[in-house]
Amino acid sequence: MPRPIRVEFPGAVYHVMARGNERKDIFRDDRDRQRLLDALAATVEQFGLRVYAYCLMPNHYHLIVGTPRGNLSRAMAWLQTTYTTRFNARHRRRGHLFQGRFKAQLVEADEYGQWLVQYVHLNPVRPAQKGDPIAAERWGELARYAWSSHRDYGGWRKVSPSWLGLDWLAYWGRRGQAAQGAYRRTMRGAFGQAVKNPWEGLRRGLVLGGEELYARAHRLMQQKGGLEEARWTESEAVAAVRQRVRELVKAELDERVKLWARVRLGNERGIAVAREYGYRDGSGVTQVIKRLEATARLDESLSKKLNQLRELSRVKV
């Protein structure tokens, strides 16, 4: 698996996520969860991070962090190594705990901050099936969830951790209690409806923001040069083809053709599009694609359609 592209500069803000190796749990009990938060507190002190929101799930975690010193990679490497060492010692195990390097998206705070806090905090109650509404009766469950900053934003926790910055409550109002009330109303309003996919506006898999932030990230990649710049350029080409394919099949009535085009031509992973089309996992998508290709070998009109899509999907970047 290629190493994720990193764009770092002082004052940058990121959404960070890391999963357990083989998607296994990274927390076995509340003592483990507290140890991760203790390590995060030490990371904040040592590397000067600003933590705006967090959520711990059984096999992964989410953070929204700012980097006044432009040192995200060093800080997160220290956090994960420290926690892994403590986890392994406690549970008498060896080896990797996390699935490769953490993922990080560069975020434009003022434009996406409010919405991103909601996304992170809704993790414990978000349905497994994307597009399904959050059950209204799960509101109490979220309000009681102890391992995120949701209770801090909503004013339910009497004393918040010293390392947690609640600056972003200002997106809901200028005054503490009024902002907390507005935040609670916003979160309550998310129940009974589907959660919007936060990453539809993600640019090149890395930047969630406007043209100015994207251009800055691009300039930094060019300055770095070498393999990193080459990978950025490659990611731009992949994203352009993927977008082109999606546009080509937008009006296509045959769902099988849509799946085939997005996976075969757009190089999207089967598991990434499975739930969007009502499949439990990527294997169902794979079977549909294989059957379609077998049918195309005997169906001249279908074969012609697939070949036309192949030709039209080839774009220059």
**230 in any annotated domain:** no
Counted domains in the chain: 2
Res 279: pLDDT: 84
Q: What is the pTM of this model?
A: 0.71
One domain for residues 126 and 275: no
One domain for residues 202 and 287: no
One domain for residues 28 and 110: yes
One domain for residues 281 and 134: no
Res 236: pLDDT: 57
Per-residue pLDDT of the chain (317 residues; tens, 9 = 90+): 455 567 888 888 999 999 998 889 999 999 999 999 999 999 999 999 999 999 999 999 999 999 998 899 999 999 999 999 999 999 999 989 998 788 898 899 888 889 999 999 999 998 877 778 898 899 999 999 999 999 999 999 989 999 999 999 999 998 889 999 999 999 999 998 887 776 777 777 788 888 888 788 777 777 765 545 445 455 555 667 778 888 888 889 999 999 999 988 887 878 778 878 888 777 888 889 999 989 998 999 999 999 889 888 765 43
One domain for residues 180 and 71: yes
**224 in any annotated domain:** no
Domain boundary among 185, 207, 229: 207
One domain for residues 80 and 148: yes
Cα separations in angstroms, 188 against 121, 166, 192, 194, 317: 12, 19, 9, 13, 43
One domain for residues 55 and 142: yes
**218 in any annotated domain:** no
**187 in any annotated domain:** yes
Looking up residue 151, the CATH number of its domain turns out to be 3.30.70.1290
Residue with tokens 């409010």: 114
**220 in any annotated domain:** no
One domain for residues 176 and 265: no
Domain boundary among 153, 183, 207: 207
Res 235: pLDDT: 56
Closest CA to 160 of 33, 37, 56: 37
Res 244: pLDDT: 84
Domain boundary among 162, 186, 207: 207
Res 3: pLDDT: 54
One domain for residues 201 and 88: yes
One domain for residues 42 and 154: yes
* Residue type for position 180: Q
**28 in any annotated domain:** yes
Res 233: pLDDT: 53
How many whole angstroms separate alpha carbon 206 and alpha carbon 209? Answer: 10
One domain for residues 123 and 253: no
Three-class SS string for 38-74? HHHHHHHHHHCCEEEEEEEECCEEEEEEEECCCCHHH
One domain for residues 200 and 120: yes
Cα separations in angstroms, 206 against 70, 147, 221: 16, 27, 12
**169 in any annotated domain:** yes
| Residue 306 structural domain | 244-312
**85 in any annotated domain:** yes
